[in-house]
Structure 1
């Protein structure tokens, strides 16, 4: 039976990503909602974007925009944005593109056009299914998703918000959980489990609440959300 799967913040952790893909046994029939922050901090941003672009051609991929993806896209033509991005994890992303492993000023030129197109034109601000809202960061509970401010979509931290006016449960990332476990309320679930910081990359089947995790060491584990939070 096809599943509706959400994958948390990847942050350049390609080994965790491909380990998770195999562990979950993702198929082309599944719908995969990636919650953003594909780049920065981890060692393999380039390979993560290659994976996403490839899956976009063969699977039902719904890629959302994270604040780090937004910063990378904005850095291309703005020195202030570039400098800020480097200080917030962009250095690691540039290293993944550089032939010599250094994030010097010329490495932006090594980013393929397909990656710029993906970051600027393909990623989405949010996604809604019949019962769930998917977003990178958070939401204003009283505002339709089509009218949400960028701050809520990309920057606001997870909090104990009221349920969204639509009545749907929100699935998000962005607020990394050092425990390695998701955090949830009756109204929202955050599955950023700090893949880049010796934590775990999480994939949630939103209907069954089964959750799979993998890390950069190739380790895996799975459980039901109700058993841990």
Structure 2
């Protein structure tokens, strides 16, 4: 049976990605939807991008744009370095490009430029990096940056009264447009959880790979999920984005 697999934020953890894909045992017809933030954190950001480019030549992949990807794209395009980016993994990402040719970097720039802001499938399931604020749905979002920075959608979903039915007037209008919504961006480890989290019809598959957590893939039909080892175990001599 063909699967649709949502994969959380990788943040330069190539070893976790390879380990996870081996567990998934990808079959012909499977679709991999990557939720963004491919870079910044562990030491193999450039290598992750190269791997994903090559993977997409063999397997059906959909790549969503994350906020860290925007910063890396800007640097690859004109050398500009956002200082927020620099201190949140950008330094390590730039270092990972040592040994990559100008031609390689141009191919990676094209990868970033072609990332999707969101994906809506034929079962009305929405995939995006962070969230949106428009009560009319993601298509009506005025500021594109919201799609890869917003946390209010997830915060709202977490605090909703579970007794409120979907057809109730109290149910948030922005959630009614989609059967399900899949996001990354806000690690579930912030809430002491190492597995994907669900609130109303929102699923969060960022399980903290940038920090001390794991990289996760979820089958969006069955809700089965697979995980890598914790990233610090795969990169024992690195801190990733951990501050302690």
Per the alignment, residue 151 of structure 1 pairs with: 145
Per the alignment, residue 55 of structure 1 pairs with: 55
TM-score norm. by structure 2 comes to 0.79
Per the alignment, residue 211 of structure 2 pairs with: 197
Over the aligned positions, Cα root-mean-square deviation in angstroms equals 2.1
Per the alignment, residue 172 of structure 1 pairs with: 183
Per the alignment, residue 160 of structure 1 pairs with: 156
Q: CA deviation at 1:183?
A: 2.2
In structure 1, which of residues 176, 179, 187 is the aligned counterpart of residue 201 of structure 2? 187
Greater strand share, 1 or 2? Answer: 1
Q: Deviations over 1:152-180 (max 9, x none)?
A: 21101121243524232110000012232
The structure-2 alpha-carbon separation of the partners of 1:193 and 1:108, relative to structure 1 and needing over 3 Å to count, comes to: farther
Greater Cα radius of gyration, structure 1 or 2: 2
Unpaired stretches in structure 2, ≥5 consecutive residues: 158-171, 235-244
1-side partners of 2:178 and 2:194: how far apart? 28
Equivalent position SS for 1:61: strand
Per the alignment, residue 117 of structure 1 pairs with: 110
Q: CA deviation at 1:28?
A: 3.4
Q: CA deviation at 1:42?
A: 1.3
Q: CA deviation at 1:74?
A: 1.9
1-side partners of 2:50 and 2:118: how far apart? 21
TM-score norm. by structure 1 comes to 0.84
Aligned residues: 209
Q: Deviations over 1:168-226 (max 9, x none)?
A: 211000001223222221120111111121210010101100011103346xxxxxxxx
